[in-house]
């Protein structure tokens, strides 16, 4: 591969996309799209990660991560997923979808939703892998060993489109604005959504259109 036509990523993938824009340079990377992320993981994101890890650690089956494959700490992982799901959505989204609605058994509808999401997650994720993934997220810092965030972003010469969701509480829009403000020529696309961080997955039409236009002409796309 002599040159990459485009790097596109959302959330953790967006963090990796930013690294491509810094490490690759315009001679190797034609353009980059980073969605729903910031230049670093701040105390807010690290705190969210830590509460999820603590939920897993509190499960007696955690065993310091040395649990047998047939008996993993699933209860802790399910709670971790429930915490994450709250951070992935928004106040408006949860209020509109659940409000104070209760089910026939008297439980709040949002409780049943979170329990369902937690249980569904168990079939496709390992607890130790989840812990390590959150730790990997927390290391994100484009300015590390590069003289700080402003210095690192200021040297980017690759056309960069940053997409943010206006209701994202996990990676608030100000984080995307910071990346754009510090990166020469970078463009910001704000997507309106009540879906919070998950809007980067759910608002396919708006995000897809912005990506398509940018990939066609990254130098002039707005």
Q: Which member of 11, 21, 49, 90 is catalytic?
A: 11
Q: Which member of 59, 168, 193, 198 is catalytic?
A: 168
**Of the candidates 128, 11, 150, 115, the residue with the CA atom closest to the CA atom of residue 59:** 128
Q: Is 213 a catalytic residue?
A: no
Helix H or strand E segment including 50: helix 43-57
Q: Which member of 41, 140, 197, 198 is catalytic?
A: 197
Q: Is 49 a catalytic residue?
A: no
Torsion angle, alpha carbons of 171, 177, 181, 186, to 10: 90
- The two three-digit tokens of residue 39, written as one number: 């230049």
Contact 56, 182 (CB under 8 A): no
Contact 174, 200 (CB under 8 A): no
Contact 190, 222 (CB under 8 A): no
Q: Is 41 a catalytic residue?
A: no
3 state SS of 150: helix
**Of the candidates 34, 33, 26, the residue with the CA atom closest to the CA atom of residue 3:** 26
Active site residues: 11, 168, 197
């Amino acid at each position: 591969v002599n040159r990459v036509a485009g790097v596109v990523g959302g959330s953790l993938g967006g963090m990796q996309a930013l690294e491509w824009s810094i490490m690759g340079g315009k001679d190797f990377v034609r353009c980059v799209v980073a969605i729903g992320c910031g230049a670093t993981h701040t105390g807010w994101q690290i705190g969210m990660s830590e509460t999820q890890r603590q939920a897993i650690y509190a499960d007696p089956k955690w065993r310091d991560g040395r649990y047998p494959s047939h008996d993993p700490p699933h209860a802790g992982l399910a709670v971790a997923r429930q915490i994450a799901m709250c951070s992935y959505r928004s106040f408006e989204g949860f209020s509109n979808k659940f409000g104070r609605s209760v089910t026939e058994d008297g439980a709040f509808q949002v409780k049943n939703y979170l329990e369902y999401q937690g249980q569904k997650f168990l079939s496709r994720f390992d607890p130790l892998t989840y812990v390590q993934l959150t730790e990997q997220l927390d290391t994100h810092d484009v300015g590390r060993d590069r003289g700080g965030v402003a210095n690192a972003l200021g040297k980017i010469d690759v056309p960069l489109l940053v997409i943010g969701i206006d209701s994202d509480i996990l990676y608030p829009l100000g984080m995307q604005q910071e990346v754009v403000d510090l990166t020469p020529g970078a463009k910001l696309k704000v997507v309106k959504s009540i879906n919070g961080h998950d809007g980067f997955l759910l608002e396919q039409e708006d995000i897809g259109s912005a990506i398509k236009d940018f990939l066609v002409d990254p130098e002039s796309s707005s």
